[in-house]
Amino acid sequence: MIARVFPKTRMRRLRKHSWLRELTQEHTLHAKDLILPLFIHESPVTEPISSLPGTFRYGLTDLLKICQDAAQLGIPAVALFPVVNDDKKDPSGSEAFNPDNIICQAVCAINALNLDLGIICDCALDPYTNHSHDGVLQADGDVDNDSTIALLAKQAILLAQAGCHVIAPSDMQDGRVGYIRSALDQNHFHEVSILSYTAKYASHLYAPFRDAVGAHGIKNSAHPGQKLDKKTYQMNPANRQEALHIARSHLSEGADCLMVKPATSYLDVLYHIQQDTKAPVFAYQVSGEYHMLKTFSSHMHIDFLDILYENLIACKRAGASAILTYGAIEMARALQTTHG
Ligand code: PBG
Query: In the chain, where does DSSP find H-type helix?
Result: 18-23, 60-72, 102-112, 145-162, 176-186, 207-212, 241-253, 267-277, 287-300, 304-318, 328-335
pLDDT over 70 at 99, yes or no: yes
pLDDT score at 111: 98
Q: Are strands 56-58 and 47-48 parallel, antiparallel or unpaired?
A: antiparallel
For ligand 1, the distance from its centroid to the CA atom of residue 67, given in whole angstroms, is 21
β-partners of residue 41 are 83
Q: Are strands 257-261 and 281-284 parallel, antiparallel or unpaired?
A: parallel
Residue 235 phi/psi, 5-degree rounding, is -75, 150
Binned at pLDDT 50, 70 and 90, residue 227 comes out as confident
Distance CA 68, CA 46 (A): 16
Binned at pLDDT 50, 70 and 90, residue 225 comes out as very low
What is residue 201's DSSP assignment?
B
Q: What is the pLDDT of residues 55-87, one digit of tens each?
A: 999 999 999 999 999 999 999 999 999 999 999
Residues with CB under 6 A from ligand 1: 122, 124, 126, 134, 170-171, 206, 209-210, 230, 286-287
Binned at pLDDT 50, 70 and 90, residue 208 comes out as very high
**Buried-state track 269-307, b at ≥16 Cβ within 10 A, e below 16:** bbbbbbeebebbbbbbbbbbbbbebbeebeeeeeebbeb
Q: Whose CA is nearest to atom 14 of ligand 1?
A: 206
* 100 SS3 class: coil
Closest to 327 (Cα-Cα) out of 298, 295, 287: 287
Ligand 1 atom closest to Cα of 124? 16
65 in active site? no
Per the residue annotation, which of 200, 230, 294, 316 is the catalytic one?
200
Distance CA 116, CA 185 (A): 24
Ligand 1 atom closest to Cα of 132? 10
Mean of the pLDDT values across residues 239-249? 98
Q: Whose CA is nearest to atom 16 of ligand 1?
A: 170
Global confidence as pTM: 0.96
For ligand 1, the distance from its centroid to the CA atom of residue 206, given in whole angstroms, is 6
Ligand 1 atom closest to Cα of 171? 16
pLDDT score at 242: 98
For ligand 1, the distance from its centroid to the CA atom of residue 124, given in whole angstroms, is 10
Per the residue annotation, which of 89, 230, 261, 294 is the catalytic one?
261
Q: What is the pLDDT of residues 128-137, one digit of tens each?
A: 999 999 999 9
* 230 SS3 class: coil
Q: Say how many C-beta atoms besides its own lie within 10 A of residue 194's C-beta.
A: 23
pLDDT over 70 at 219, yes or no: no
Pocket of ligand 1, candidates 51, 170, 264, 291: which has the most ligand atoms within 8 Å of its Cβ, to mutate?
170
Distance CA 145, CA 169 (A): 13
The amino acid at 25 = Q
For ligand 1, the distance from its centroid to the CA atom of residue 145, given in whole angstroms, is 18
Distance CA 6, CA 148 (A): 61
